[in-house]
A and B are shown apart, each in its own frame.
Chain A
């Protein structure tokens, strides 16, 4: 089954404790992206990757890091989480096609930083 998986689905942590949210897709997609969803703001892009070893900042990259060492995986790293990073996070992937390709979303990771 074609899918995007994220782990963990729910996470409660404390300020300053490094964490990683994993994202994996089995569709051989070149393009992957992370979004965060906050009430009243919709979804905003954090980082994206056009292919292995090619990553760049989105609209709200502060406090986050990513890596793309393998095509299927695109982890999101919070080196020192803060309460303002409490949010719902989505990983998404698609083929590269100048915007025409459907973007598939993972199930979301709900993060609470105390």
Chain B
């Protein structure tokens, strides 16, 4: 079974600074999908960024980028020029490309606070 580990329960950073959230995972599969979800105080789950394991290039979405290290099974999220609206819980998630259950396996989350 796949597992996802987020070792930083809480982080805080000054506004406009850069912050990196860590995520490691364990799987025996060679092809899979990785995601970062943001959960603001409203509790809505918002997709931030996704990465296909077969792609070597790291995904980027505006101020958000990932550092995907397949051999190390590491998938960190970098937030540049952090903004107050980035304050949220961030979840790393893994999804297996099987034909049956396409569930997301989540980490325990990192609570990020942006300090004005």
Contacts of B104 in A (CB 8 A): 35, 43, 45, 92, 103
In whole angstroms, what is the CA distance A99 to B105 when docked? Answer: 12
Q: B15 to chain A: closest CB distance in Å? A: 27
**Nearest opposing residue in chain A for B47, CB measure:** A102
B44 touches A108 (CB 8 A): yes
Q: A75 to chain B: closest CB distance in Å? A: 19
Contacts of A74 in B (CB 8 A): none
B43 touches A107 (CB 8 A): yes
Answer whether residue A61 sits at the interface, using C-beta atoms and an 8 A cutoff.
Answer: no
B100 touches A42 (CB 8 A): no
Q: How many residues of B contact A (CB 8 A)?
A: 25
The number of A-B residue pairs with CB atoms under 8 Å apart is 65
Quick one: given A42-B106, A43-B106, A108-B43, are A48 and B101 in contact (CB under 8 Å)? yes
Answer whether residue B95 sits at the interface, using C-beta atoms and an 8 A cutoff.
Answer: yes
Contacts of A44 in B (CB 8 A): 106
Q: How many residues of A contact B (CB 8 A)?
A: 29
In whole angstroms, what is the CA distance A102 to B12 when docked? Answer: 29
A107 touches B108 (CB 8 A): no
Answer whether residue B83 sits at the interface, using C-beta atoms and an 8 A cutoff.
Answer: no
Answer whether residue A33 sits at the interface, using C-beta atoms and an 8 A cutoff.
Answer: yes
Between-chain CB contacts (< 8 Å), 9 pairs: A33-B103, A42-B107, A43-B91, A45-B101, A48-B101, A48-B102, A99-B97, A103-B95, A107-B42
Residues of B within 8 A of A (CB): 4, 32-33, 42-45, 47, 50, 52, 91, 95-104, 106-109
The 5 A-B pairs at the shortest CB distance, nearest first, are namely: A99-B97, A105-B45, A42-B106, A98-B97, A99-B95
